[in-house]
Each structure stands twice: as C-alpha cells, then as structure tokens.
C-alpha cells in the first residue's frame, strides 16, 4: 500500500516487491498467506515491506523480540546485510546478543543516555545484581 500512496506505477511496485522479497530470502513464499509463514518468515516479510520503500533509515523496535535464537540470528544477519548496503539502522533491543552486533551502542536508563560502565562501577556496591539486568 505505501508504494501505491507514492503513486508508483504497478510495474515498478512489482519490481520493488520482488527485489525486496528476494533480498530477505522469501521468493519461494511470495504467494503464501501470513498464517502459512513461520514467525521468522513473518519478521522477514516486515523487513521486506520496509525495504521496498528504499529507505535511507530504518527504525527497528525489538526486531527479534518474539523469535527463537535461530530466527533471531537470521533477522540480525539480514539487518547487517541491509546496513552494509548503505541503509542506517537504529535498533532498540533488550537482547544483549543483538546489541553486541551493533557498531555503536547507546544505553538509556530512566530515559537518559548513560555510560553503563561508569554507572555499574559507581553502583556496584549497592546493586550486585545489576550486571545480570544489563
């Protein structure tokens, strides 16, 4: 639908969709309904929908939140591939394994940017379990 709102011709919409679906590795599932796709495949379809618009920036809020570890790795691999092609990705995650794959990390605590190393050092004696939360 967003491509229609941009008034792109049908042929260009079809080309963009097919290219995006191929990029996320779902060409063989192009004609399937959402209920016929796994959670990981549905997440990759969401990424393909974004890619069809050819964005310069993607805001990804917990892109692996409901996925098992294998599907999470696949989605993260896909996001890295998209990033390597020149698209900036800002990802919000609570998953340390996903955050570790980012080229830059910004930590928020109570809505403020914090240097987590300094915070942990300053509060180590008061919050012994804090490192497990991070």
pLDDT exceeds 50 at position 132: no
Domain layout of the chain by residue ranges: 2-103
State the pTM of this model.
Answer: 0.72
Predicted confidence at residue 127, as pLDDT, reads 45
Across the chain, mean pLDDT equals: 83
32-37 long-range Cβ contacts below 8 angstroms, 24+ apart? none
Across 110-130, average pLDDT: 62
Q: What does DSSP assign to residue 62?
A: S
Q: Looking at per-residue confidence, does 34 or 66 come out higher?
A: 34
Task: Write the pLDDT tens digit of every residue in 10-50.
Answer: 999 999 999 999 988 899 998 999 999 988 889 889 889 99
Across 63-79, average pLDDT: 86
Sign of CA dihedral 22, 94, 83, 51: positive
Residue 31: helix, strand or coil by DSSP? coil
C-alpha to C-alpha distance for 125 and 122, rounded to whole angstroms:
8
Predicted confidence at residue 13, as pLDDT, reads 94
Predicted confidence at residue 134, as pLDDT, reads 33
Interacting residues of 113 by C-beta distance below 8 A, sequence separation 6+? 106, 107
3-state secondary structure 81-120: HHHHCCCEEEEECCCHHHHCCCCCCCEEECCEEECHHHHH
Predicted confidence at residue 35, as pLDDT, reads 93
pLDDT band for 119, please (50, 70, 90 cuts): low
C-alpha to C-alpha distance for 41 and 102, rounded to whole angstroms:
22
CATH no. for 2-103: 3.40.50.300
């Amino acid at each position: 639908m967003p491509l229609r709102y941009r008034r792109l011709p049908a042929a260009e919409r079809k080309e963009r969709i097919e290219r995006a679906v191929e990029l996320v590795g779902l060409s063989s599932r192009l004609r399937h309904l959402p209920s016929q796709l796994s959670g990981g495949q549905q997440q990759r379809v969401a990424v393909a929908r974004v890619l069809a618009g050819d964005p310069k920036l993607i805001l990804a809020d917990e892109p692996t939140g409901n996925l098992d570890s294998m599907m999470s790795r696949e989605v993260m691999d896909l996001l890295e591939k998209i990033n390597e092609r020149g698209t900036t990705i800002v990802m919000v995650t609570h998953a340390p394994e996903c955050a570790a794959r980012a080229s830059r990390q910004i930590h928020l605590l109570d809505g403020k940017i914090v240097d987590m190393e300094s915070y942990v050092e300053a509060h180590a004696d008061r919050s012994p379990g804090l490192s497990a939360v991070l």
